[in-house]
């Protein structure tokens, strides 16, 4: 009986996020992968069906023929991977994620990358990390007709700290090397705060509409987001980590300018609390509006800042950098 395991990380602190989209086209993003994984376990079952089980969402789906898959809102992304990889039968697929739902860290892309990687191994079809990321993006946009940027899939496949120059949907990806001192600082001083599940579809539609109508403040905000990504490439290895915090703040200000829904009360309160207690940088992950945020603490303030956040009943997630990307065994 063949059993295959895979896992892929998620990303946080996506500087330049929103510019990796079909409507902006020529964008730039730098993001940081962390050890919050999406896991896949494939087990050969000697049957005529494929069973998909989401362990942490308590959902399941059965496929009898990949050519007749119907998307009904239940594990559709995983079904799409089975269809595109043309997996015929005899398989149990178990999926789970460390990151909570709608966290804003690219979890859906991470699970898609992990599943495509495992299915490629199962069916003896070699796919490179780039090909896996490319296909994972197509699952969302071509198969399911969803809005999707391109940064999350490439981050999950490659791992590390990556700078991406985007000519949508093509991605030129460059891994950014940092020394051990900077890794230690980032892992010690970055705090990942989870606010709860959120839906950003209404905000997405309005931002896209504003961009199409060439709204001046929207265009200015997008250009600043892209500029921030290039600035972070230069700052990430600077002697003073405060430069990293300054660019996070600049990016967040541009992000907030896109829509009023970007900062619901819980985010406003957390941002204010963070800077009152030793933060030097703040940025919501992904589209924003909820989900999660990364706070960069002043050196020596990390512990007290975490205690303050926990007193406010906020949930903190692990935030150790990941440099392995997709792993299959």
pLDDT at 197: 75
Q: Is 127 exposed, middle or buried (0-12, 13-18, 19+ CB in 10 A)?
A: middle
For residue 89, pLDDT over 90 is answered with no
pLDDT digits (tens, 9 = 90+) for 97-117: 999 988 999 999 999 999 999
Residue pair 255/221 in contact by the 8 Å Cβ criterion:
yes
Residue 145 three-state SS: coil
CA 62, distance to chain mean position in Å, is: 27
pLDDT digits (tens, 9 = 90+) for 255-312: 999 999 999 999 999 999 999 999 999 999 999 989 999 999 999 999 999 999 999 9
pLDDT digits (tens, 9 = 90+) for 126-157: 999 999 999 999 999 999 999 899 999 999 99
For residue 223, pLDDT over 80 is answered with yes
| Buried residues in 87-111 as b, exposed as e (16+ CB within 10 A) | beeebbbbbbbbbbebbbbbbbbbb
For residue 195, pLDDT over 90 is answered with yes
pLDDT digits (tens, 9 = 90+) for 40-71: 999 999 899 999 999 999 999 999 999 999 99
Going from the N-terminus, what domains does the chain have, and what CATH number goes with each?
Answer: 3-177+324-328 (3.30.230.10), 180-317 (3.30.70.890)
* d(C-alpha 149, C-alpha 109), whole Å: 10
Report field, pTM of the whole predicted structure over 0.75:
yes
Reported confidence tier of residue 199, pLDDT bands at 50, 70, 90: low
């Amino acid at each position: 009986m063949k059993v295959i395991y895979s896992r892929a990380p998620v990303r946080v602190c996506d500087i330049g996020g929103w510019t990796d989209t079909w409507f902006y086209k020529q964008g730039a993003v730098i993001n940081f992968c962390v050890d919050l994984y999406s896991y896949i376990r494939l087990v050969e079952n000697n049957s005529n069906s494929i069973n998909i089980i989401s362990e942490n969402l308590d959902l399941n789906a059965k496929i009898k023929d990949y050519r007749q898959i119907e998307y009904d809102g239940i594990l559709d992304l995983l079904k799409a991977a089975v269809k595109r990889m043309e997996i015929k039968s005899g398989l149990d697929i178990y999926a789970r994620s460390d990151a909570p739902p709608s966290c804003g860290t690219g979890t859906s892309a991470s699970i898609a990358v992990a599943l495509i990687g495992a299915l490629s191994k199962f069916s003896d079809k070699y796919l490179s990390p780039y090909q896996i990321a490319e296909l994972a993006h197509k699952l969302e946009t071509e198969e399911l007709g969803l809005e999707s940027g391109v940064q999350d899939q490439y981050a999950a496949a490659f791992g590390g700290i990556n700078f991406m120059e985007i000519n949508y949907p093509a991605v030129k990806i460059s891994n950014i090397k940092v020394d051990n001192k900077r890794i230690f600082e980032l892992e010690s001083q970055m705090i990942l705060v989870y606010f709860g599940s959120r839906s950003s579809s209404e905000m997405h539609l309005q931002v896209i509409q504003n961009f199409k109508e060439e709204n001046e403040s929207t265009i200015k905000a997008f250009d600043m987001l892209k500029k921030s990504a290039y600035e972070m490439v230069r700052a990430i290895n600077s002697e003073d980590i405060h430069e990293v915090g300054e660019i996070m703040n600049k990016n967040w200000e541009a992000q907030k300018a896109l829509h009023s829904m970007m900062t619901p009360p819980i985010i406003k309160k957390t941002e204010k609390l963070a800077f009152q207690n030793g933060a030097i940088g703040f940025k919501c992950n992904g589209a924003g509006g909820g989900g999660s945020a990364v706070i960069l603490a002043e050196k020596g303030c990390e512990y007290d800042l975490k205690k303050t956040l926990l007193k406010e009943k906020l949930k903190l997630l692990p935030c150790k950098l990941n440099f392995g990307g997709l792993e299959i065994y």
